[in-house]
Amino acid sequence: MKATPSSFTSNALDIDAAAVTGALEHAIREIVFARLHRKGAVVGLSGGVDSSVTAAICARALGKDHVFGVMMPESDSSDDSLGLARLLADVVGIKTTVENIAPSLEALGCYQRRDEAIRKVIPEYGKGWKSKIVLPSLVENSQYALFSVVAQSPSGEMKRARLTAEAYLGVVAATNFKQRVRKTMEYYHADRLWYAVAGTPNRLEYAQGFFVKNGDGSADFKPIAHLYKKQVYQLGRYLGVPDEILRRPPTTDTYSLEQSQEEFYFALPLEKMDLCLYGKNNGFAPEAVAAAVGLSGEKVQRVYSMIDSKLHSTHYLHLPPQLVEPVEEVTATH
Protein backbone atom coordinates (compact mmCIF):
# COMPACT_ATOMS: atom_id res chain seq x y z
CA MET A 1 0.00 0.00 0.00
CA LYS A 2 1.31 3.43 -0.91
CA ALA A 3 1.54 5.86 1.98
CA THR A 4 -0.14 9.23 1.82
CA PRO A 5 1.85 12.47 2.19
CA SER A 6 0.38 13.16 5.62
CA SER A 7 1.63 9.82 6.94
CA PHE A 8 5.34 10.20 6.17
CA THR A 9 7.52 9.38 9.18
CA SER A 10 11.13 8.35 9.73
CA ASN A 11 9.81 4.76 10.04
CA ALA A 12 8.67 4.79 6.43
CA LEU A 13 11.49 2.46 5.42
CA ASP A 14 10.90 -0.22 8.06
CA ILE A 15 10.51 -3.72 6.64
CA ASP A 16 9.46 -7.13 7.87
CA ALA A 17 12.97 -8.58 7.72
CA ALA A 18 11.80 -12.20 7.91
CA ALA A 19 9.38 -11.75 5.02
CA VAL A 20 11.94 -9.88 2.91
CA THR A 21 14.53 -12.57 3.62
CA GLY A 22 12.13 -15.29 2.50
CA ALA A 23 11.32 -13.47 -0.72
CA LEU A 24 15.00 -12.82 -1.42
CA GLU A 25 15.96 -16.45 -0.85
CA HIS A 26 13.34 -17.59 -3.33
CA ALA A 27 14.32 -14.98 -5.90
CA ILE A 28 18.07 -15.69 -5.64
CA ARG A 29 17.55 -19.43 -6.11
CA GLU A 30 15.39 -18.77 -9.14
CA ILE A 31 17.89 -16.32 -10.64
CA VAL A 32 21.10 -18.26 -10.02
CA PHE A 33 19.94 -21.83 -10.59
CA ALA A 34 17.08 -21.44 -13.09
CA ARG A 35 17.87 -18.28 -15.05
CA LEU A 36 21.66 -18.09 -14.95
CA HIS A 37 22.25 -21.86 -14.73
CA ARG A 38 25.12 -21.47 -12.30
CA LYS A 39 25.97 -23.56 -9.23
CA GLY A 40 26.51 -20.75 -6.77
CA ALA A 41 27.61 -17.17 -6.21
CA VAL A 42 30.87 -15.26 -5.83
CA VAL A 43 30.70 -12.21 -3.56
CA GLY A 44 33.45 -9.62 -3.21
CA LEU A 45 33.72 -8.99 0.53
CA SER A 46 34.71 -5.47 1.62
CA GLY A 47 33.89 -5.69 5.31
CA GLY A 48 30.94 -3.36 4.75
CA VAL A 49 27.28 -4.00 5.39
CA ASP A 50 26.19 -4.33 1.75
CA SER A 51 28.59 -7.10 0.78
CA SER A 52 28.02 -8.78 4.15
CA VAL A 53 24.26 -8.89 3.72
CA THR A 54 24.65 -10.03 0.11
CA ALA A 55 26.92 -12.91 1.16
CA ALA A 56 24.67 -13.86 4.07
CA ILE A 57 21.46 -13.88 2.04
CA CYS A 58 23.14 -15.79 -0.80
CA ALA A 59 24.36 -18.39 1.69
CA ARG A 60 20.81 -18.85 3.00
CA ALA A 61 19.39 -19.05 -0.51
CA LEU A 62 21.99 -21.22 -2.22
CA GLY A 63 23.65 -22.99 0.71
CA LYS A 64 26.86 -21.87 2.37
CA ASP A 65 28.87 -24.37 0.30
CA HIS A 66 27.67 -22.59 -2.84
CA VAL A 67 28.94 -19.13 -1.94
CA PHE A 68 32.56 -18.04 -2.33
CA GLY A 69 33.87 -14.82 -0.80
CA VAL A 70 36.78 -12.89 -2.32
CA MET A 71 38.65 -10.30 -0.26
CA MET A 72 40.70 -7.92 -2.38
CA PRO A 73 42.78 -5.44 -0.39
CA GLU A 74 45.11 -2.94 -2.04
CA SER A 75 47.55 -0.32 -0.84
CA ASP A 76 44.89 2.22 0.24
CA SER A 77 42.50 -0.24 1.90
CA SER A 78 41.60 0.33 5.51
CA ASP A 79 43.20 -2.06 7.98
CA ASP A 80 39.70 -2.92 9.24
CA SER A 81 38.35 -4.14 5.92
CA LEU A 82 40.09 -7.49 5.74
CA GLY A 83 39.42 -8.38 9.38
CA LEU A 84 35.72 -7.54 9.12
CA ALA A 85 35.36 -9.48 5.87
CA ARG A 86 36.98 -12.51 7.51
CA LEU A 87 34.69 -12.14 10.51
CA LEU A 88 31.62 -12.14 8.25
CA ALA A 89 32.85 -15.19 6.35
CA ASP A 90 33.39 -17.06 9.62
CA VAL A 91 29.93 -16.19 10.91
CA VAL A 92 28.21 -17.14 7.65
CA GLY A 93 30.42 -20.18 7.13
CA ILE A 94 31.50 -19.61 3.54
CA LYS A 95 34.85 -20.34 1.91
CA THR A 96 37.01 -17.36 1.00
CA THR A 97 40.29 -16.33 -0.51
CA VAL A 98 42.41 -13.20 -0.22
CA GLU A 99 43.62 -11.64 -3.45
CA ASN A 100 45.99 -8.72 -2.94
CA ILE A 101 45.33 -6.55 -5.98
CA ALA A 102 48.01 -3.94 -5.19
CA PRO A 103 50.63 -5.44 -7.56
CA SER A 104 48.09 -5.48 -10.42
CA LEU A 105 47.16 -1.86 -9.71
CA GLU A 106 50.83 -0.90 -9.53
CA ALA A 107 51.45 -2.56 -12.89
CA LEU A 108 48.52 -0.70 -14.45
CA GLY A 109 49.86 2.60 -13.15
CA CYS A 110 46.77 3.22 -10.98
CA TYR A 111 48.60 4.97 -8.14
CA GLN A 112 51.04 6.83 -10.38
CA ARG A 113 48.29 8.12 -12.68
CA ARG A 114 46.18 9.21 -9.71
CA ASP A 115 49.09 11.06 -8.14
CA GLU A 116 49.87 12.82 -11.43
CA ALA A 117 46.25 13.99 -11.61
CA ILE A 118 46.35 15.29 -8.04
CA ARG A 119 49.59 17.18 -8.77
CA LYS A 120 47.66 19.29 -11.28
CA VAL A 121 46.10 21.09 -8.29
CA ILE A 122 48.58 20.26 -5.48
CA PRO A 123 51.99 20.31 -7.21
CA GLU A 124 53.94 19.07 -4.16
CA TYR A 125 51.79 15.91 -3.83
CA GLY A 126 53.95 12.79 -4.01
CA LYS A 127 55.35 9.79 -2.21
CA GLY A 128 54.18 9.42 1.36
CA TRP A 129 51.19 11.73 0.92
CA LYS A 130 47.62 10.56 1.50
CA SER A 131 44.49 11.91 -0.13
CA LYS A 132 40.76 11.71 -0.70
CA ILE A 133 38.30 13.65 -2.80
CA VAL A 134 35.32 15.30 -1.16
CA LEU A 135 32.12 17.21 -1.89
CA PRO A 136 30.83 20.17 0.11
CA SER A 137 27.88 19.40 2.37
CA LEU A 138 24.59 19.87 0.59
CA VAL A 139 22.93 20.79 3.87
CA GLU A 140 25.33 23.60 4.72
CA ASN A 141 25.75 25.09 1.26
CA SER A 142 23.53 26.22 -1.57
CA GLN A 143 26.41 26.19 -4.05
CA TYR A 144 27.07 23.61 -6.73
CA ALA A 145 28.75 20.55 -5.31
CA LEU A 146 32.15 20.44 -7.00
CA PHE A 147 34.85 18.05 -5.91
CA SER A 148 37.95 19.04 -3.96
CA VAL A 149 40.99 16.96 -3.12
CA VAL A 150 42.11 16.84 0.51
CA ALA A 151 45.74 15.78 0.94
CA GLN A 152 47.93 15.09 3.92
CA SER A 153 51.70 15.50 3.64
CA PRO A 154 54.06 12.99 5.29
CA SER A 155 54.56 15.54 8.09
CA GLY A 156 50.81 15.72 8.69
CA GLU A 157 50.10 19.05 7.02
CA MET A 158 46.62 19.12 5.43
CA LYS A 159 45.92 20.80 2.07
CA ARG A 160 42.67 21.22 0.19
CA ALA A 161 42.18 22.30 -3.42
CA ARG A 162 39.18 22.32 -5.71
CA LEU A 163 39.71 19.96 -8.62
CA THR A 164 39.71 21.14 -12.19
CA ALA A 165 37.71 19.03 -14.63
CA GLU A 166 40.91 17.52 -16.01
CA ALA A 167 42.27 16.66 -12.55
CA TYR A 168 38.93 15.29 -11.34
CA LEU A 169 38.51 13.03 -14.36
CA GLY A 170 42.14 11.91 -14.04
CA VAL A 171 41.75 10.94 -10.38
CA VAL A 172 38.47 9.11 -11.01
CA ALA A 173 39.75 7.31 -14.10
CA ALA A 174 42.84 6.11 -12.22
CA THR A 175 41.04 4.99 -9.07
CA ASN A 176 38.38 3.19 -11.14
CA PHE A 177 41.10 0.65 -11.88
CA LYS A 178 40.48 -0.62 -8.35
CA GLN A 179 36.84 -1.58 -8.88
CA ARG A 180 37.56 -2.97 -12.33
CA VAL A 181 40.46 -5.15 -11.19
CA ARG A 182 38.35 -6.43 -8.31
CA LYS A 183 35.57 -7.38 -10.71
CA THR A 184 38.06 -9.13 -12.98
CA MET A 185 39.19 -11.20 -10.01
CA GLU A 186 35.59 -12.01 -8.99
CA TYR A 187 34.88 -13.28 -12.50
CA TYR A 188 38.05 -15.38 -12.44
CA HIS A 189 36.70 -17.25 -9.43
CA ALA A 190 33.18 -17.36 -10.83
CA ASP A 191 34.45 -18.88 -14.07
CA ARG A 192 36.53 -21.57 -12.38
CA LEU A 193 33.70 -22.52 -10.00
CA TRP A 194 30.82 -22.18 -12.52
CA TYR A 195 29.28 -19.59 -10.22
CA ALA A 196 27.52 -16.28 -10.90
CA VAL A 197 28.87 -12.97 -9.59
CA ALA A 198 26.66 -11.20 -7.06
CA GLY A 199 26.71 -7.41 -7.15
CA THR A 200 26.33 -5.65 -3.83
CA PRO A 201 24.80 -2.20 -4.44
CA ASN A 202 21.94 -0.97 -2.30
CA ARG A 203 19.21 1.20 -3.76
CA LEU A 204 20.93 4.52 -3.05
CA GLU A 205 24.06 3.39 -4.87
CA TYR A 206 22.22 1.73 -7.73
CA ALA A 207 19.69 4.49 -8.37
CA GLN A 208 22.14 7.34 -7.94
CA GLY A 209 24.86 5.78 -10.08
CA PHE A 210 27.37 5.35 -7.28
CA PHE A 211 29.32 2.61 -8.99
CA VAL A 212 31.98 2.11 -11.64
CA LYS A 213 30.78 0.87 -14.99
CA ASN A 214 32.38 -2.52 -15.66
CA GLY A 215 33.70 -2.33 -12.12
CA ASP A 216 31.51 -2.79 -9.07
CA GLY A 217 28.58 -1.97 -11.36
CA SER A 218 29.12 -5.24 -13.19
CA ALA A 219 27.49 -8.43 -11.92
CA ASP A 220 25.21 -11.28 -12.96
CA PHE A 221 22.62 -10.37 -10.35
CA LYS A 222 22.15 -7.64 -7.73
CA PRO A 223 20.00 -9.04 -4.93
CA ILE A 224 19.77 -5.96 -2.69
CA ALA A 225 19.66 -3.22 -5.36
CA HIS A 226 15.99 -2.52 -4.57
CA LEU A 227 16.58 -2.07 -0.83
CA TYR A 228 17.21 1.27 0.84
CA LYS A 229 20.30 1.52 3.05
CA LYS A 230 18.26 1.39 6.26
CA GLN A 231 16.56 -1.76 5.03
CA VAL A 232 19.95 -3.36 4.33
CA TYR A 233 20.88 -2.69 7.97
CA GLN A 234 17.59 -4.18 9.15
CA LEU A 235 18.26 -7.25 7.06
CA GLY A 236 21.81 -7.40 8.38
CA ARG A 237 20.60 -7.52 11.96
CA TYR A 238 18.07 -10.23 11.11
CA LEU A 239 20.69 -12.30 9.27
CA GLY A 240 23.20 -12.10 12.12
CA VAL A 241 25.76 -9.84 10.49
CA PRO A 242 28.23 -8.98 13.30
CA ASP A 243 27.73 -5.70 15.14
CA GLU A 244 31.26 -4.57 14.25
CA ILE A 245 30.18 -4.48 10.62
CA LEU A 246 26.78 -2.91 11.29
CA ARG A 247 28.43 -0.16 13.38
CA ARG A 248 31.10 0.66 10.80
CA PRO A 249 30.43 3.97 9.02
CA PRO A 250 29.95 3.34 5.28
CA THR A 251 33.20 4.06 3.48
CA THR A 252 34.38 3.98 -0.11
CA ASP A 253 37.66 2.33 1.05
CA THR A 254 39.19 3.65 -2.17
CA TYR A 255 41.32 6.58 -1.04
CA SER A 256 44.28 6.61 1.34
CA LEU A 257 42.63 9.12 3.71
CA GLU A 258 39.49 7.84 5.35
CA GLN A 259 36.51 8.90 3.28
CA SER A 260 32.80 8.49 3.92
CA GLN A 261 30.32 7.88 1.11
CA GLU A 262 28.59 11.06 2.23
CA GLU A 263 31.57 13.32 1.58
CA PHE A 264 32.45 11.56 -1.66
CA TYR A 265 29.13 11.23 -3.40
CA PHE A 266 25.86 11.81 -1.61
CA ALA A 267 26.73 15.12 0.13
CA LEU A 268 24.11 14.31 2.75
CA PRO A 269 24.02 11.78 5.62
CA LEU A 270 22.88 8.44 4.21
CA GLU A 271 19.90 8.11 6.55
CA LYS A 272 18.60 11.46 5.29
CA MET A 273 19.37 10.59 1.68
CA ASP A 274 17.52 7.30 2.17
CA LEU A 275 14.36 9.05 3.37
CA CYS A 276 14.51 11.69 0.66
CA LEU A 277 14.85 9.08 -2.09
CA TYR A 278 11.98 7.07 -0.61
CA GLY A 279 9.82 10.18 -0.27
CA LYS A 280 10.51 11.24 -3.82
CA ASN A 281 9.96 7.74 -5.23
CA ASN A 282 6.62 7.52 -3.46
CA GLY A 283 5.26 10.90 -4.47
CA PHE A 284 5.70 12.80 -1.21
CA ALA A 285 6.03 16.57 -1.48
CA PRO A 286 9.26 17.98 0.02
CA GLU A 287 7.29 19.65 2.81
CA ALA A 288 5.79 16.29 3.83
CA VAL A 289 9.24 14.73 4.12
CA ALA A 290 10.99 17.69 5.76
CA ALA A 291 10.14 17.02 9.40
CA ALA A 292 11.09 13.33 9.28
CA VAL A 293 14.40 14.13 7.59
CA GLY A 294 15.18 17.10 9.80
CA LEU A 295 15.66 19.51 6.89
CA SER A 296 13.63 22.44 5.63
CA GLY A 297 11.21 21.84 2.76
CA GLU A 298 13.46 24.01 0.61
CA LYS A 299 16.47 21.81 1.31
CA VAL A 300 14.50 18.62 0.65
CA GLN A 301 13.50 20.15 -2.68
CA ARG A 302 17.19 20.68 -3.43
CA VAL A 303 17.86 17.03 -2.57
CA TYR A 304 15.01 16.02 -4.91
CA SER A 305 16.59 18.10 -7.67
CA MET A 306 19.97 16.54 -6.98
CA ILE A 307 18.42 13.06 -7.18
CA ASP A 308 16.94 13.92 -10.57
CA SER A 309 20.21 15.41 -11.72
CA LYS A 310 22.15 12.27 -10.76
CA LEU A 311 19.54 10.01 -12.35
CA HIS A 312 20.04 11.96 -15.55
CA SER A 313 23.83 12.27 -15.44
CA THR A 314 24.44 8.62 -14.52
CA HIS A 315 21.95 7.13 -16.98
CA TYR A 316 24.89 6.18 -19.19
CA LEU A 317 26.22 3.90 -16.45
CA HIS A 318 23.10 1.73 -16.59
CA LEU A 319 23.04 1.34 -20.34
CA PRO A 320 24.17 -1.95 -21.87
CA PRO A 321 26.30 -1.77 -25.03
CA GLN A 322 24.18 -0.01 -27.65
CA LEU A 323 23.52 -1.83 -30.93
CA VAL A 324 22.86 -0.14 -34.24
CA GLU A 325 20.19 -2.73 -35.05
CA PRO A 326 18.63 -5.46 -32.91
CA VAL A 327 20.12 -8.93 -33.28
CA GLU A 328 16.95 -10.99 -33.28
CA GLU A 329 18.52 -14.41 -32.81
CA VAL A 330 19.94 -13.25 -29.47
CA THR A 331 16.87 -11.45 -28.13
CA ALA A 332 14.60 -14.30 -29.27
CA THR A 333 16.35 -16.76 -26.98
CA HIS A 334 15.87 -14.63 -23.85
Partner 1 sequence: MQQIEQEVRQFVIENFIFDNNHRNFSNDDSFFDTGLLDSMGVLTLVDFVNEKYGIPIEDDELLPENWDSVNRIATFVRARFSPAIDSQDNSAQNCIV
Contact pick of 125, 129, 147, 221 for partner 1 (by CB under 8 A) = 147
142 part of the interface to partner 1, by CB under 8 A:
yes
Whichever of 165 and 330 has its CB closer to partner 1, that residue is 165
143 part of the interface to partner 1, by CB under 8 A: yes
Among 35, 162, 226, 318, binds partner 1 (CB under 8 A): 162
Closer to partner 1 by CB, 63 or 136: give it. 136
Nearer to partner 1, 107 or 165 (CB): 165
Instruction: Kindly list the strands in the beta sheet with 130-134, ordered across the sheet, starting from the edge strand earlier in the chain.
Output: 130-134, 148-152, 158-162
Nearer to partner 1, 84 or 135 (CB): 135
Does residue 163 bind partner 1 (CB under 8 A)?
A: yes
Supply the minimum distance, in Å, between the C-beta of residue 118 and partner 1.
16
Does the footprint of partner 1 cover residue 157 (CB under 8 A)? no
- The CA radius of gyration of the chain, in Å to the nearest whole number, is 20
Q: Provide the mask over 284-313, with x wherever binding to partner 1 is found by CB under 8 A and - wherever it is not.
A: ---------------------x---x--xx
Closest CB 205 distance from partner 1, rounded Å: 18
Site for partner 1 in 118-137 (CB under 8 A): 136
Cα distance between residue 234 and residue 249, in whole Å: 15
Minimum CB separation of residue 286 from partner 1 in Å reads 17
Please report how close the Cβ of residue 181 comes to partner 1 at its closest, in angstroms.
Answer: 24
Q: What share of the chain is helix, strand, coil (3-state, %, to 5)?
A: 50, 10, 40
Give, in order, the Cα–Cα distances in Å from 47 to each of 42, 51, 82, 110: 15, 7, 6, 23
Helix, strand, or coil (residue 190): helix
Size of the site for partner 1 (CB under 8 A): 17
Q: On the CB side of 15, how many CA atoms lie within 13 Å of its CA?
A: 21
Comparing CA positions, the residue from 37, 59, 16 lying closest to residue 196 is 37
CB 103 within 8 A of CB 167: no
> Distance (Å, rounded) from C-alpha 260 to C-alpha 162?
18
State the minimum distance, in angstroms, from the CB of residue 301 to partner 1: 13
Using DSSP bridges, classify how beta strands 148-152 and 41-45 pair: parallel, antiparallel or unpaired. Answer: unpaired
Binding residues vs partner 1 (CB under 8 A): 136, 142-147, 162-166, 168, 305, 309, 312-313
